[in-house]
Structure 1
Amino acid sequence: MQLFTAQSIGQRQSVVVTAQLQQAIQLLQMGNTDLQSFIESQAEENPFLEVGTRAAQPRSSRDLTLPSQLRSGGDDWDRIGQLAADPGPSLYAHAAAEIARLPLSPAEAMMAEAFLDALEPSGWLGQPLAAIADRLFITEAEAEQLLVKLQRVEPAGLFARNLAECLALQAADRGLLTPAFSTLLDNLPMLAQADLRGLCRACDVGMDDLKAMLRHLRSFNPKPGATFDATPIPQRAPDLIVTRGEGGWRVDLNRSTLPTVVVRSDEARRMSRREVTANAYVAERLSVARWLSRAVEHRNQTTLKVGAEVVRRQIDFLEHGPARMRPMVLREVAEAIGVHESTVSRVCSGILIATPQGTFPLKTFFSAALANREEAGEAGSASAVRHRIQKMIAAENPEEPLSDDHIARIIGQEDGVQLARRTVAKYREQLRIPSSVDRRRRAIVSRM
């Protein structure tokens, strides 16, 4: 066999993902807030680039190829309405202030810092007492004595090590910690199983006395620290706004949060005249600024196209609510507006849309179609079925909760959507709704 080297010339086509193309793809996935941060970071490196405070109106409905009932409007998002109220002191600050009021020695006050560090948002201790004692170089008995003092702070239940101890601290604070109540707290698993007769025997009380104890127990807070750190997550302003106009539904970019790219061409010309040697640098930076301006404009137009097509297909949802959500997939929207399916997917991943039914991620409107009977008409969506299940369980008789199989039969008979029992169970778990057995147990305990 003879080996030799040779050169050949050929042509081939391939897709090269340049740095600018990667940035353009990233821009499609950004909401208005992330987009502004990105443009600001670019402006720090480019002297010919600035961030505008308000975006210009989209070119026109003709440029966007939108129907007349979906043409762009001009309503701004009320950002003042999204400002959260003062949440007050944090759990750590409150607990530290309460400990400062206790009659502790200087050494105990220093050791209390270790308990504060172990405090979880629920108000419970997040570390075993033995671990805290080892950290402080004291015995577990000494740590137990200090913990008893710390558990006197308000609200009652802070620094508890488990649920039973948390409830016991609150019962003692109200003067309800009788031997029978202590036994009830020692048998919380029986209460979770709604074994009321077994609890009567264990506590050596009658059913009426047990009902009275359960009424007191329901008034306790199992997580007393949650009221301090329950700061609401600030709602990000939507990127698209849907409103009803005289001619139908209108879709608009949220101009109050949408940044614009300002290209400082005049400054570039002045610098070129003043410093001839800087012409190459000026041309490169000015080219980058102009490209970013075009990329942001393309991102805005694509976002508006996708949002408008989604709204056009989900008008029943806008008028009647989640129960009328239509099934829709990415491919349908992509074919309707003439873009690739991956482009629609990227746009929907980071965009929020405000509708009369609430503010949702744009991807919420994409839901698979479920099988139905031929006489039932159009196929139902998974989102609509989940909403139907939620409403059925909310309206059920607590003493006779609907089983998953029963829910599947009702939806099949009334809505024509064929569901398996395991499908109902999956949707119920996604909605964080307990099973019918657990709902029945809770109903038995709640009516005590």
Structure 2
Amino acid sequence: MQLYTAQSFAQRQSLVVTAQLQQAICLLQMPNAELSSFIESQSEENPFIELRLPPAPAPASALPRGVAAAADDDWDRVASLAADPGPSLYVHVTEEIARLGLSAGEARAAAVFLDALEPWGWLGQPLDVLAARAGLATDEAEALLARLQKIEPAGLFARTLAECLRLQAEEQGLLTPLFAAVLENLPLLAAADLRGLCRACSCDMDELKAVLRQLRGLNPKPGAMFDAAPSPQRPPDLVVTRGPEGWRVDLNRSTLPTVVVRADAAESFARSAAPYVGERLSVARWLARAVEHRNQTTLKVGVEVVRRQRGFLEEGLSRMAPMTLREVADAIGVHESTVSRVSSGMMIATPQGTFPLKSFFTAALSAREGDTAGSAAAVRHRVRQLVQGESPEDPLSDDAIAKIISDEGVTLARRTVAKYREQLNIPSSVNRRRQALVTGAL
């Protein structure tokens, strides 16, 4: 046996994930606001990068026929502004405590109770714990709590749901013996056991329903009204409008950032800094190209999605067509993972509302021969429609819903209806009937 050494040469190709490639991949899934923040942070480190908003409109000549890019359709910024929410719960209660005329010691103890107030208006800690922290005896803490519970709106500083509702009922003159008995048996009401509640309260069904109508007028979370102002809606990254020649898609110009390379600034640097200037200029030019590539890829994905979802744009969720990432990727000539990254964080404004771009990718369900396959999103919408239109006295079972949708052309199993119903947070038919009893719909 002989041992010897030898050298051989071979060529091979492999993809090296460089730092710039990783950054380019991250740029694909950044929404406009996040992209602006990223470019701004880069401009702080690189003197040759400048963030500018908004850029010039993109040309529409390269888009497919029938789906064009809009020229200057900016998102209405005024519509995304939140209304003035007014004072917060903490500020409101602080002002009300100052009007109670408490002594200095009581005011310090009241501050302990205020710190324990939950956003919905209840106390978040037991009274004995708060009394020990405030240096009060139990009876003193009870007396202070009774004064704090006089603060408007009624129900603040309650320790339980029953106490919160009791405070409001007392203020409105509703606290009859029957009303108090109902509050003592709230678990039966939560289980929609109205017959059991009648037995526990020694009343008939008509008397109980009269109390329940009064109970539904109370607010179980009185503190939530101070923090209930809606947060500003995030502006979309893509805007869809209908023009004379069909549907048009555009990048949202009011929030879309662009990178300006300040090459002229390099002349102000000394020759000794030439290596630094060259490296920073290279980074700036690469970032400008990467952002432009991100914008063009986003626009291509949006255009293809709109082309495939014209039925949804014209008629709503009931016409949502099945569509996969691979179909869009093959149509625009990119990898499936690229479409997934682009659609993961983007929002698109349509005449039907503003939706995550990802929500347009939905699986196809089997259909009868000759019928068009429906999408999972359209079927979920149909399930919601059927439940909303059902009779409260005779709610539709999962089997009944499956039969109705199957008769309409999409083959659907009962377990699929149950799965979609749970995704939509719709209770079962039994629980829906119980809720109808509690809410007085029956």
Scaled by the length of structure 2, the TM-score of the pair is: 0.95
Q: Among residues 325, 330, 337, which one is paired with 1:330 in the alignment?
A: 325
Deviation sequence 1:339-374 (CA, Å, 0-9, x none): 000000000011110000000110010001112222
Residue 250 of structure 1 deviates from its aligned partner by 0.4
Tell me the CA shift for residue 320 of structure 1: 0.3
Counterpart of 1:52, as a letter, is R
Instruction: Name the counterpart of 2:264.
Output: 266
**What is aligned with 1:435?**
428
Instruction: Give, in angstroms, the shift of residue 145 of structure 1.
Output: 2.8
Q: Write the distance in 2 (CA, Å) between the matches of 1:262 and 1:72.
A: 23
C-alpha distance in structure 2 between counterparts of 1:441 and 1:4, whole Å: 86
What is the DSSP-based 3-state SS (H/G/I as helix, E as strand, rest coil) of the residue aligned with 2:75?
coil
Classify the secondary structure of the residue corresponding to 2:248. strand
User: Where do residues 28-67 of structure 1 align in structure 2 (5 Å cutoff)?
Assistant: 28-62=28-62, 65-67=63-65
Q: Which residue of 2 aligns with 1:372?
A: 367
Residue 181 of structure 1 is matched in structure 2 by 179
CA displacement at 1:9 relative to structure 2: 6.2
Letter in 1 for 2:119: P
- Partner deviation per Cα, 1:189-247 (whole Å, 9 max, x = no partner): 22233333333332233433323211111110111111111121211111110000101
Distance 1:38 1:70 in 2: 29
- 8 Å Cα contact 2:108/2:134 also seen in 1: no
Once the 2 structures are TM-superposed, how far is the Cα of residue 4 of structure 1 from its aligned partner?
A: 11
Q: What is the RMSD computed on CA atoms of the aligned residues?
A: 2.1
Give the whole-Å Cα distance in 1 for the aligned partners of 2:244 and 2:138: 73
Deviations 1:287-307 (CA, angstroms, capped at 9, x unpaired): 111111111100000000000
- Opposite residue 292 of structure 2, the aligned amino acid is E
Distance 1:358 1:307 in 2: 15
Write the distance in 1 (CA, Å) between the matches of 2:132 and 2:411.
Answer: 60
Which residue identity lines up with residue 271 of structure 1 in the other structure?
Answer: S
Identify the range of structure 1 (147-156 vs 135-144) with the bigger mean alpha-carbon deviation.
135-144
SS at match of 2:51: strand
For residues 105 and 144 of structure 2, what CA distance do their matches in structure 1 show?
11
Task: Kindly provide the amino acid, as one letter, of the partner of residue 390 in structure 2.
Answer: E
Q: Which moved more, 1:331-340 or 1:176-185?
A: 176-185
Closer, same or farther in 2 for the Cα pair 1:68/1:384, shift >3 Å?
closer
Q: Structure 1 length normalisation: TM-score?
A: 0.93
Moved more, 416-425 or 181-190: 416-425
Structure 1 residues 58, 202: closer, same or farther in 2, change over 3 A?
Answer: same
Count, aligned residues = 441
Aligned residue in 2 for 1:386? 380
**8 Å Cα contact 2:32/2:237 also seen in 1:** yes
Give, as a single letter, the amino acid of the residue that structure 1 aligns with 2:427: P
8 Å CA contact 2:67–2:248 kept in 1: the answer is yes
Judge conservation of contact 1:151–1:158 (CA < 8 Å) in 2: yes
Q: Percent identity?
A: 68
Equivalent residue letter for 2:104: P
Query: How far is 1:255 from its partner?
Result: 0.8
Which amino acid is the alignment partner of residue 254 of structure 1?
A: N
Aligned to 2:335: 340
- Deviation string for 1:410-431 (max 9, x for gaps)? 11112x2222222212211211
Alignment match of 2:439 (pick from 435, 440, 446): 446
Shift of 1:130: 3.1
Runs of 5+ unmatched residues, structure 1? none
Does the 8 Å CA contact 2:58/2:71 hold for their aligned counterparts? no
Tell me how far apart the structure 1 counterparts of residues 122 and 2 of structure 2 sit (CA, whole Å): 79
Counterpart position of 2:284:
289
How do 1:164-179 and structure 2 match up within 5 A? 164-179=162-177
